[in-house]
Structures are given as structure tokens and as C-alpha cells.
Amino acid sequence: MSVVVQKYGGTSVADAARIGNVARRIVATFEQGHSVCAVVSARGDTTDELLALAREITPDPPEREMDMLLSAGERISCALLAMAIHRLGYDAVSYTGSQAGIITDTTHTKARILDIHPDRIESAMREGKIVLVAGFQGVSTAKDVTTLGRGGSDTTAVALAHALGAMVCETYTDVDGVYTANPSLVSRARKLDHVSYDEMLEMAASGAQVLALRSVEYARKFDIPIHVRSSFTEAEGTWVNDGGHGMDIEQQLEQPIIRAISYTTDEAKVTLRGVPDKPGVAARVFNALAAARVNVDTIIQNTSESGHSDISCTVPAEDLPAAELALHDVVEQLGAREYVTDSSIAKISLIGAGMRSHPGVAATMFQTLADLGINLDMIGTSPIKISCVIAKEHVDEAVRTLHTAFDLDEKDVVHEASDRGVC
Amino acid sequence: MSVVVQKYGGTSVADAARIGNVARRIVATFEQGHSVCAVVSARGDTTDELLALAREITPDPPEREMDMLLSAGERISCALLAMAIHRLGYDAVSYTGSQAGIITDTTHTKARILDIHPDRIESAMREGKIVLVAGFQGVSTAKDVTTLGRGGSDTTAVALAHALGAMVCETYTDVDGVYTANPSLVSRARKLDHVSYDEMLEMAASGAQVLALRSVEYARKFDIPIHVRSSFTEAEGTWVNDGGHGMDIEQQLEQPIIRAISYTTDEAKVTLRGVPDKPGVAARVFNALAAARVNVDTIIQNTSESGHSDISCTVPAEDLPAAELALHDVVEQLGAREYVTDSSIAKISLIGAGMRSHPGVAATMFQTLADLGINLDMIGTSPIKISCVIAKEHVDEAVRTLHTAFDLDEKDVVHEASDRGVC
């Protein structure tokens, strides 16, 4: 069986006309001789509407009930899509995360997939049925409905692609691929034909919205090619895989230094000041944050002469309350002076495998920002990424200027920026 | 464990304020020392909205997908209600029909409950939790989500009351009990303190909307007292059970002859004309209708002198298309002349256990209608019910006049008819 897994986001199934459009696309793929398993997100604003209903009832909904509530959106979508496919004369069946055999841990609202039992999907495919699966959800080992956290439908799709031995995972969204920068911010952003798993991983971790981080981790780990496409056109999109981007040094020299720029304004900076400079201190700080389930990104420690240091890191804005609770205790335990937070930051990241052999990249980045009069705060690096934290108010100008400075601009055509979704 | 099962209809949970109201009521019952299992319908117009979504996609949605779609409504309600109860400081957990152990057959959209495994609900109750169950749904023996047909939440509630050994099943709606007639039609209708299972069965079968027929069949079979109440007041409602309504002949003589009047405009009349008058003919007609899963109500056969007869029956309006298909084949096979249908009918039923010893009831009914110039069509009887079919346009006047003629009118108070829901 040649299996194709597809994932359709909320915009792609927002109304009856779009659902019909997706149904035709799925059927066309099936007619090419493939078995198709399509993962579906909730329609349009459904998830936000359900969240609003919950907030009307209580500011602090129990997470198990939140999952019961939010999982309804995807069930509605996949049932409607199955109906639309039936209408075209094809046999289709929809499955909840549980029926699809997606088993998760019990961490409600951010569950991790532990295992997938694809038997029911495979039977249906052998019977010639097109299979729809409600994205973003599974069933826990305690037999409760769970949801997988932000971008959960991407994760469902890639995980199923692995379990079903699919040849590709196609993710359909409202942009036609992965761009060199958010096309609705940078009008001269270019669509990339290809990015490697590592580059996509860095981009997702640094703010790119087009694919959820966890799904890219999965794809990289199990070598599942992802094809990011628009649901509104037939055009080839961006391929995410490790082919065509060899480690051959000549090829690397030919690659552009920087492939893309991502940014995020959804992080906050937390700093412990005046931490006694003793072994094990940093470990205690980050153990406390980990215990509070706070994801930590860029970490900086500066030692001053007085035998105390400041430790800073960035966390997702939504984790800030939990981080503050954790740090409050740690400040006391360590005898640190205080902790402070700053929510008005943005983090800009340059990504490129070609960066390795070009030490001037950092210099160019910092000079470009300095020329704009923008202060740099924290700087973080990996072999294929350089990030720095700046004040949120400068992010638009900084991203556009860096995009030009690193020769990423589209040469001939200026895209209509306002029509584009988020990269 | 003293167990109370409650059922809350869609109007009772239509918005956040009403959900809060229901949460308080549930908690009050729990505080009286009972274990509470509350069955919840979909909020307000949710089910109709989901149906409209489906109709946008296709006029003929596959039934399995219809069940996947419609079951979302109750899941959303019970999750929100669990959140509201948590907010009041109590531990609550919501279950889908599947998690509640409700096993059904595979007849999608009108599934019958085969068995209930209440283990999970009972464990939760023993742990001191309040349990919410999504009404109207279960899981089939083929592991698909099923819905139970119109009034399915009533059925869920009574079936659970039996499985849990509950002392009562309280159904909460937007009227404060069962009335002598639809109070929004008959301003002088009176609330009944008590009806027997048999009387309630006839009323539900004859058009009364307040309890679903199948749930009354269940209650009667397993002797489960139902208390029909308003979710908006604390008042005692109507008790449906076999107590206090003894078979003692003196008591019967004291009972009013007629207890209530129901009517329905949701039926259609079908007639096969010129059917050869041979043995087995009627059986073939009704076997054909049964095979098409058409529910049949009043049946009349008139034999004419020519050796042919006309066979008429009433069917729910929604089953008319299926009935016509079935009859089309039967007309050919039997050599009958034709079949005709009439959708402009109404059926009025007088219900009363006291009717048995009062043969004048039928006469009074027919005379009353004749005095109004209303033609009677089909007449059907049971030991505690007399029905007749009339033209739909006359139903309001007929019901009100019969209500007065049989001395059912409230003597002192005139209710504000426009504030009432449907009996």
C-alpha cells in the first residue's frame, strides 16, 4: 500500500465551500492510487470559541475537562469532511484520536504520544476507504481524552505518517510553503523549495508558525519527509527532509549563508539577580523551572566580580506565571537578591546550515541592528542558528532590514504581503 | 450509596448563566447526601446548528458520520458543566457515552441501548465525585459512536438510573411538570401531580414532548420513578410511577375520566387503495414498512364489498419518504390500485386510565368535534387512550374545546400561555 498522510489546518476547512475543496483534493490523491489518511484541525475559529465558552464558566478550568471540550472541534471537522467525500461518491470514515489508536500520557492539554496502534486505519484503507482522523487529540493510558498542545494536528499527522509507513506527510495550510521570513511582515520574502530537518527545527523553535516544533522533531527522528503546501493551489510547496542538502563541502559553500529569519514576540525574559556564584546553583534554578513544566530557551549567565552572577533565560509567555512561582521559591532558597521579568521582548533568529563556515554572520547581524539603533540583549547560538533578544517594538524593522542585509529579498516580484498567512 | 440521576435538557444549559444554575442545583442534591449522576443534552440550538452544517455539505449524510458529528454537542455541555461544578469547589468528571459504558447496537442515528457497564461511573461516585454523562449517545458493538434518536438524553438518563440502582430519575426541563395539555396551546391547562407509566406512555406516543417515548418504556419496564421538574424553580413537578394510582375500583371511580390530551402534527397518513382482500395481505404491507424501519401508529382497514380493501396507517412525517419507497414496491407486488399520502393531518389523543369504565368518552369526543364542524378521519383506541385523526388546521381549536369539554380546565387561575414550553 502506498500511503499518503495529509494534514489540513483550520483555515482550510473553515466553511462548507472549503471543506468541499479539501474533499476534492483528497479524492484526487486517492485517484492517483494512494491510500489516504487525512488529519483534520477544527474549523476556523472553533477552538477559540470553545475556549471562550470555558472562560465564561471559570477562569481556571480543570485540564481534563478542557480536553473533553476542545477535542469536539476536530471531531466535527472530520465528520463533515467524511460527508463531503461521500458526496463525491467515495467511501470515507472518520476516527477520533482514540479510534485511530493514538495513545498518550496523562498530561492533559499537552499530552505526548506514547504509541500508535494503526490497525483500524490500516483495515479501513485495505477496504478501499479514505480515512479522516481528528487531529490534536488522543486517548490517555487512563482512558481519558487528551489534547496534544499547540500545533497538535501537525504532530498527529507526522506521528501517523510514521506509524503507517507513509511515503510523505503533506501539510496543507494557507501559505504555499515555508518562506525566508514571515511573508505578511516581509513583502520581499521568498518561498524556499527545500529546508533540512535541522533548519526547520530551528525555525519552529524560533517562532516560525508554519509547522509545530514537536512535529518537526518527530519527522527528523524518523526521517519522514514533510511537504508544506497551500490548500488553495496545486503548486509544489516546500519540502522538509534531508535530501538535496548534502553535507558535501562544495555544496555547502554554494548554499546561501542564511536560509531564513524567524522571530517570536511570545516569549518573556526572566532574570535572577545576585545569585551566589557556587557550583550547582544553575542546576537548581533550571530544575525548579523544569519541575514547573516551564520550557526554557536561551540561557545566559554573567558572572560579576563580586562573586555573584545574574542568570537569565527566555520562556514562553504563557509559562511566565508558572516560572514566577518557581523562581520565587528559588530566590529564597539560594539567597539570591531578586528575580525580574520582562515581557516586552522579541527574539530574532537567523537560521542556516551554511553558517558554520562563515564567522562573519554574527558580526553582520549585530552591525545591522546597531545601525538601526537597536540594542541587543541576550544572544544565543547553535551550529545553525544565531538569536538575539531585542525590544519588541523594533522587531518589524529589524526583521525586514536583516532580510535585505543577508540577501534574502525576492529580486523581481514584490508579493502582496497582506494576503499571506504567517510563515 | 443513595443515587440520584438527573437529566438536564438543552434549554437548561443554553448559556453560561444557566449552566451555573444547573451546577448549583446538582451540588445542592449532592449536599443532601446523594451520589449524583447528571445526564446533559447539547446546549440550546447546538444540535440544529450541527445538522445545518451537515446539510450544507450534503443532503444525504452517511449516518455513521452524522453520529460522530451530533455527539459533539453533548460532550461540550458536560465538559462545561463539570467546569462549573469545579468552580463551586466540588470534584466533577464528565464522561462520553462510551466512557459511561453505554453499549448500543449499530443502528446509527436511532441506536438502541443493549447494555450498560456502570463501573467507571460507580468508581467515580465512590471517590466522592459528581458525574456528568453526555446524553443521547453511546458506543456500538462495532466501536463506533452512536446516537439514540430523538429524546435520546431522556433514554440515557432512565437507562443509567436503572443500571445504577438510582432511587429516582429527575428530568429537568423548561416546564414545571406534565400538563393536562400543551400549556402553550391551552392557557387553562393544569399541572398533574402524578401520572402512571401507562398513561405517560400513551401521552408520549401521542405527541406529548415532555418525555421521550423510549425512556418511558424503560421506566415502566424497570419501575424507575421519574420526577419531571423545571430547572428554573424548586417546585415539586410531576411524578411518573405506579404508586398512588391503584387499581382499586373505588379509587378508579374517583379518578377523572380523562387525565390529559396530547396531539401531534408530526405524522402523515398513508393509504393503500384497492388491496385484494386475501389472507396475509396486511402482513406483507406492514412487514415491508418494518423492513424500511418505518414506525407505524394507528392502523385502519376497511373492507369494501367488491372484495378489495383500503389499508391506512399513520407514520412519523420523517419516515414518509422511506414509507413511500416501501409501499411503491408493495402496490406492485399485491396488485393493489395505488397508494396515497396525506401530510396535512393532526392526531388528537385523550388519555386516562379511568376511561375503561366510561364508554361515553368516545361519544363525547366525537360529538364535541362534530359540534365544531370538524371531520373525524381515523380512530384508534387502547384501554387507556382514544385517538382520532383530523385536518391539521383544526387542531388548536379542537384541543382547547376538548380540554374544556372533559373538565380539565384550571378553575381559578389563567396561566400565561406564552411563557410555557411544550408539554
CB A154 within 8 A of CB A200: no
List of chain A residues whose C-beta atoms are within 8 Å of the C-beta of residue B16? 53, 56-57
Query: Rounded distance, CA A175 to CA B6, Å?
Result: 49
With an 8 Å Cβ cutoff, is A62 touching chain B?
Answer: yes
CB neighbour burial string for A219-244, b if at least 16 within 10 angstroms, e if fewer: bbeeebbbbbbbbbeeeebbbbbeee
* Minimum CA–CA partner of B96 in chain A: A68
Confidence of residue A256 (pLDDT cuts 50, 70, 90): low
Q: What is the pLDDT of residue A62?
A: 96
The one-letter amino acid at A174: D
**Residue B109 burial (CB count, 10 A):** 16
Q: What is the pLDDT of residue B378?
A: 86
H-assigned helices in A164-262: 197-205, 213-222, 249-254
Query: Rounded distance, CA A181 to CA A190, Å?
Result: 8
pLDDT tops 60 at residue B12: yes
Contact assignment for B75 to A72 by CB distance below 8 Å: yes
User: All 3 cell numbers of residue B42?
Assistant: 447539547
Nearest of B334, B325, B321, B275 to residue B299 by alpha carbon:
B275
Calculate how close chain A gets to B346, using CA atoms only, in Å.
35
pLDDT tops 50 at residue A203: yes
pLDDT tops 50 at residue A248: no
Residues A122-157 pLDDT 10s:
999 999 999 999 999 999 999 999 999 988 999 999
Calculate how close chain A gets to B268, using CA atoms only, in Å.
29
Residue A238 to residues A191, A196, A229, Cα–Cα distance (Å): 7, 10, 7
CB B346 within 8 A of CB B391: yes
In which element (H, E) is residue A52 found?
Answer: helix A46-57
List of chain B residues whose C-beta atoms are within 8 Å of the C-beta of residue A78? 68
With an 8 Å Cβ cutoff, is B132 touching chain A?
Answer: no
Confidence of residue A255 (pLDDT cuts 50, 70, 90): low
With an 8 Å Cβ cutoff, is B79 touching chain A?
Answer: yes
pLDDT tops 50 at residue B78: yes
Calculate how close chain B gets to A228, using CA atoms only, in Å.
27
Q: What is the pLDDT of residue A238?
A: 95
Which position has the higher pLDDT, A8 or B357?
A: A8
Sign, CA dihedral B125-B128-B133-B138, equals: negative
Calculate how close chain A gets to B92, using CA atoms only, in Å.
9
Residue A209 to residues A203, A216, B9, Cα–Cα distance (Å): 9, 12, 41
Task: Give the SS3 label for residue A280.
Answer: coil
Contact assignment for B50 to A75 by CB distance below 8 Å: no
How far is Cα of residue B358 from the mean position of the Cα atoms in its chain?
27
Q: Enumerate long-range contacts of B410-416, CB under 8 Å, 24 or more apart.
A: B410/B188, B410/B189, B410/B190, B414/B187, B414/B188, B415/B183, B415/B187, B415/B188, B415/B189, B416/B187
Query: Rounded distance, CA A26 to CA A38, Å?
Result: 8
User: All 3 cell numbers of residue A414?
Assistant: 514584490
φ and ψ of B77, to 5 deg: -60, -50
Task: Give the SS3 label for residue A90.
Answer: coil
Q: What is the pLDDT of residue A46?
A: 93
In which element (H, E) is residue A53 found?
Answer: helix A46-57
**pLDDT, average across residues A159-177:** 94
* Minimum CA–CA partner of B93 in chain A: A65
CB neighbour burial string for A119-142, b if at least 16 within 10 angstroms, e if fewer: eebbebbeeebbbbbbbbbbbbee
Query: Rounded distance, CA A289 to CA B17, Å?
Result: 38
Which position has the higher pLDDT, B380 or A225?
A: A225
**pLDDT, average across residues A201-220:** 91
Contact assignment for A50 to B76 by CB distance below 8 Å: yes
Q: What is the pLDDT of residue A23?
A: 97
Structural domains of chain B, ranges and CATH numbers in brackets: 3-253 (3.40.1160.10), 257-407 (3.30.2130.10)
Residue B89 — left, alpha, or beta (φ > 0 → left; ψ -120 to 50 → alpha)? left
With an 8 Å Cβ cutoff, is B100 touching chain A?
Answer: no
**pLDDT, average across residues A278-287:** 86
Contact assignment for B76 to A71 by CB distance below 8 Å: no
Contact assignment for B68 to A79 by CB distance below 8 Å: yes
Calculate how close chain A gets to B78, using CA atoms only, in Å.
8
With an 8 Å Cβ cutoff, is A77 touching chain B?
Answer: no
Average pLDDT of chain B, as a whole number: 90
Query: Rounded distance, CA B288 to CA B102, Å?
Result: 31
Which position has the higher pLDDT, B251 or A143?
A: A143
Which of B53, B58, B84 comes nearest A58 by C-beta? B84
Task: Give the SS3 label for residue A34.
Answer: coil
Residues B156-204 pLDDT 10s:
999 999 999 999 999 998 889 999 999 999 999 999 999 999 999 999 9
Contact assignment for A69 to B84 by CB distance below 8 Å: no
* Minimum CA–CA partner of B88 in chain A: A58
Which of B76, B83, B143 comes nearest A62 by C-beta? B83
With an 8 Å Cβ cutoff, is A68 touching chain B?
Answer: yes
Tally C-beta pairs within 8 A across A and B: 108
Give this prediction's pTM.
0.84
Among A14-23, A95-104, A251-260, B301-310, the range scoring the smallest mean pLDDT is A251-260
